[in-house]
Amino acid sequence: MTTVHALKKSAGVGFFFAAIATIGLLRPLAAAGQACGGFCSALQTAYGNLALNGNGGAENSAFGDNALGGNSGGDNTAVGLFTLLNNSGSDNTAMGVDALENNAGSDNTADGFEALQSGNSGARNTATGSKALNGNTTGNSNTGMGVDALVFNSGGSNNTAIGDDALRNNNANNNTAVGAIALESNSTGVENTATGVAALLNNSSGNDNTAIGFTALESNVADNNTAVGATALESNSTGV
């Protein structure tokens, strides 16, 4: 006997999707409404008003109103209102309102309100926290964890920011910030490492600096400095 599973929507606003296990397909039951825009390709799961509406991809899961609406990619999971809306990438996971909206990249993970929201086409990015990596468009292999972590990064790659506002203004490559507002002002500086609250806070364009400790190298804008300890080289601005 064929086994059928269905996800039920409120009356009048959704398809019932029937998984036909013996042949591995999902199909809309036509009597139930318009949740999938009249078409769903193989192996889809949708729950929510207009979830997977107009979908042309395969093996996607959408939970939430308009989640994965207009999708053309495959192997994506969206949980939340407007998550992965108009997505064309594959192998993405989004949780949170507007997370990964208008995404064209692949292998991205966004967990938080408007995380990775601004039309991302980059790949292998991870954003956890409200608006983390919100402005990312072409950057690859970034990790932002914390409210507004890497929020304005658009094209920088290979950055790691852990802490609220860490690397907030960054648009460069190969920086690591661990701690709230660490490297917050960095915009073009590359290959900097800041560990501690406000470490390298005002560094905007300095390169190859290492600061470990609370407010270490807080005022720095120069290159090739190392400070270890709370307030170490806190007032250094131009020293090399």
Residue 221 CB burial class (10 angstroms; 0-12, 13-18, ≥19): middle
Each residue's pLDDT tens digit, 184-208? 999 999 999 999 999 999 999 999 9
Task: Yes or no: say if 222 and 204 are a contact pair by the CB < 8 Å rule.
Answer: no
Res. 23 pLDDT band, cuts 50 70 90: very low
Phi, psi dihedrals of residue 27, rounded to the nearest 5°:
-135, 150
Predicted local confidence at residue 72, as pLDDT: 95
The two beta strands, 25-29 and 16-20, are antiparallel
Predicted local confidence at residue 56, as pLDDT: 87
Each residue's pLDDT tens digit, 59-87? 999 999 999 999 999 999 999 999 999 99
* Whole-prediction pTM: 0.84
Distances (CA, A) of 149 to 141, 143, 159: 14, 9, 11
Predicted local confidence at residue 238, as pLDDT: 83
Task: Quote the Cα angle for 209-213-219, to 5°.
Answer: 55
Predicted local confidence at residue 40, as pLDDT: 55
Tally helices (H) and strands (E) across the chain.
Answer: 0, 15
